[in-house]
Amino acid sequence: MRVPKSLPVLVLAALALVGLATPASAAVGKYVALGDSYSSGLGAGSYGSSGSCKRSANAYPQLWANSHAPSAFTFAACSGAVTQDVLNGQVASVTADTALVTISIGGNDAGFASVMTDCNLSSDSVCVSRNQTAQNFARTTLPGRLDSVYRAIRDRAPSARVVVLGYPRIYKTSGSCVVGLSETKRAAINQSSDVLATVTSARAAAHGFTFVDARTAFSGHEICASGARWLNSVTWPVEESYHPNTAGQNSGYLTALRSVTG
């Protein structure tokens, strides 16, 4: 059988068309970013017109959307949010066609913002006691609140991939800091991060969600660590203290999110 001279050209053209239709080049579906200041990007600057929600152009949700070009993107995370804020307002952005939801929530419910204030202004014993109170809340009351949020997300988007991002440890204990909070205070604060991670990861798993452990993602880059710092210490504006900076949002959270979403 004689092979037509035009066959190679036809084959190449067909392969090109197949390549254009491969799933790898398909558009990413709708993405909704929920949560509190760790998701809104407080501490990373460039808040635009987001007002008190402090949604940063350098926050991991915006960076992920920039690089993945989802078919739609809703940035609903807001600084200061608690679980009830997600239920009352943010979760309405999640719809049946949502493909990806990310969320960090729970730290404000347990009062860790005031814990950090008290630890800076009070004695070791007061700091330890405040952390113990917050940890007890996280163990006993927070699980039910997280369940309510996670159920609402799943009810609104039965097929969505849901990624729950935790909180990093704030300090590297026995690190390079020679001033600031005592080692006793730093250890108590880190223990609170550990309790939050344990509680949040368990509830996320119970709902079939993916948990991203920020303690691992930020390891070696905490305050007092020898590596480049990815978290603000006490800074101005003071509300940005103890939040990820631009490097933390990019190299910490975004890298960790990409590790589970591609």
Token readout for 127 is 């700091």
How many angstroms separate the first and last alpha carbons of the chain?
Answer: 47
| 255 three-state secondary structure | helix
The candidate with the shortest Cα–Cα distance to 75, out of 52, 95, 103, 97, is: 103
Written as six digits, the tokens of 261 are: 């979403």
Catalytic residue among 37, 79, 192, 241: 37
122 included as an active-site residue: no
Q: Is the dihedral of CA 214, 217, 218, 219 positive or negative?
A: positive
For residues 231 and 42, the answer to whether their CB atoms sit within 8 Å is no
> Is 208 exposed, middle or buried (CB count within 10 Å of its CB: 0-12, 13-18, 19+)?
exposed
DSSP for 149-217 reads: HHHHHHHH-TT-EEEEE----SB-TT-S--SSS-HHHHHHHHHHHHHHHHHHHHHHHHTTPEEE-HHHH
CA separation for the pair 199, 59 (Å, rounded): 24
Contact call for residues 163 and 209 (beta carbons, < 8 A): yes
Told to judge if 243 belongs to the known catalytic residues of this protein, a careful annotator would answer: yes
Choose the catalytic residue: 50, 104, 221, 243: 243
Positions marked catalytic: 37, 243
